[in-house]
Amino acid sequence: MRRILVWIASLALATGVAYAQGELEIFSWWAGDEGPALEALIDLFEQQNPGIEVINATVTGGSGVNARAVLKTRMLGGDPPDSFQVHAGQELIGTWVAAQRMEDITFLFEEEGFFDAFPPGLVDLISTEEGTWSVPVNIHRSNVMWYVPAKLEEWGVEAPATWDDFLAICPTLQAAGVTPIVVGENWTQQHLWESVALAVLGTDDYAALWTGELSFTDPKATAVWDTFGQILDCSNEDAAGLSWQQATDRVVNGTAAFNVMGDWAAGYMVTTLGLEPGTGFAWQASPGTSGTFMMLADAFGLPEGIANRDAAVAWLRLLGSKEGQDTFNPLKGSISARLDSDLDMYNAYSRSAAADWQNDAIVGSLVHGAVAKEAFMSEFATVMEIFLASRSGEQAANAAQAIANQVGLGR
Ligand code: GAL
């Protein structure tokens, strides 16, 4: 290894080209079952950058619930990782960009042609008037309902087009000893909530919640909690102790009929469980949301004051490239964020998501950082606790509006 490093260093001197070297710490929550896509990308990076050793630092916990807290400590303590996973949109911009802890990477977008490679709406999501702040590695869809076709046939039900249809088959499934819809820990319940909100409010009013144009206490918005409560009455009682993978397992093994989860569930079912899309599992837009794609994107940026800036820039270059994205996404369940992705490399689920991404109306996910400042999305866990404890839509709505006012949601 040392000999290779010396060789690269002398090559760099001879050619005048700066090759990045040393260690590169990548920080994310893609641990264990969530790891294969990132690991494939790191392997590719190490092949292309033999002088760099990647430290794959992970903090387990779906949707970054634990990683975000560790990241905060490190950022505030002056010990930023060289690059970290963050959701494209307000999660990064409202926190670390606002706190001037990120470097503007407009230069990289220009050098690599990323401004033309990504859809304009996505470039807007990761940019402010002051600059461009992250490289999106994928597009995930939040509003997806998963099920196993053979099981539905066995129980004599169909995948519900609306939540009313779901509530109508709930007693049939319960009578068969099946959980109609499985949910897991708090954030997965918020995840279900955002899909229910989209169904109840429709695309425009859902979007208006995040700009502040529609108040959480408006009767239209409180109606979301009513429907949500009825759906939870058809769910499992041990939700708090389940990870999203364990919730997915219940659909796969037939103890639950449906779950609503982002399409990392497709990555898990294909890459980890070895199931075939279409037969091993099937999908549809979550009830009442067909024609709308609720998106989120994982992204990485360039923190200020890091140990190895050259290596981090090389990492971001690969992340945004066609090859990088088409290595990562077929394993992850997401689609490439680029316009020129090679769809032959993707399975039937991902190809259907890619078609919907082209044709559907687009809105952003709350739980996964696209539409609201981190301060609001973190506190939404408390709103959910309030609802679960009180089952009062009014109390939950008041709490949500109070937090929105406090953090200046939409401003
Ligand atoms: C999301 C993230 C996905 C996946 C998921 C479950 O927030 O964007 O890539 O990791 O959480 O942990």
Between 11-15, 43-47, 58-62, 200-204, the lowest mean confidence (pLDDT) is in 11-15
Ligand 1 contacts CB of residue 245 (under 6 A): no
Residue nearest atom 10 in ligand 1 by C-alpha distance: 63
pLDDT digits (tens, 9 = 90+) for 162-191: 999 999 999 999 999 999 999 999 999 999
Residue nearest atom 1 in ligand 1 by C-alpha distance: 63
pLDDT score at 18 = 53
Residue nearest atom 12 in ligand 1 by C-alpha distance: 62
Ligand 1 contacts CB of residue 296 (under 6 A): yes
Give me 313's structure tokens.
């820039």
Backbone angles phi, psi at 217, to 5 degrees: -95, 0
| The ligand 1 atom nearest the CA atom of 244 | 6
Ligand 1 contacts CB of residue 142 (under 6 A): no
Average pLDDT of the chain to the nearest whole number: 95
| The ligand 1 atom nearest the CA atom of 297 | 8
Q: Do residues 371 and 89 lie in contact, with contact meaning Cβ atoms separated by under 8 Å?
A: yes
Ligand 1 contacts CB of residue 263 (under 6 A): no
Averaged pLDDT, 139-158: 98
The pLDDT of residue 10 is above 50: no
Parallel, antiparallel, or unpaired for β 256-260 and 298-300?
A: unpaired
pLDDT digits (tens, 9 = 90+) for 237-288: 999 999 999 999 999 999 999 999 999 999 999 999 999 999 999 999 999 9
Token pair 């939700």 is at which residue? 239
Residue nearest atom 7 in ligand 1 by C-alpha distance: 63
Sign, CA dihedral 227-91-105-350, equals: negative
pLDDT digits (tens, 9 = 90+) for 297-327: 999 999 999 999 999 999 999 999 999 999 9
SS3 of residue 127 by DSSP:
strand
Q: How far is the CA of 177 from the centre of ligand 1 (A)?
A: 31
pLDDT score at 11 = 47
What are the Cα distances from residue 209, in Å, to 63, 165, 187, 188, 401? 21, 26, 19, 20, 10
Ligand 1 pocket test, candidate residues 140, 261, 336, 365, most atoms within 8 A of CB: 140
pLDDT score at 411 = 80
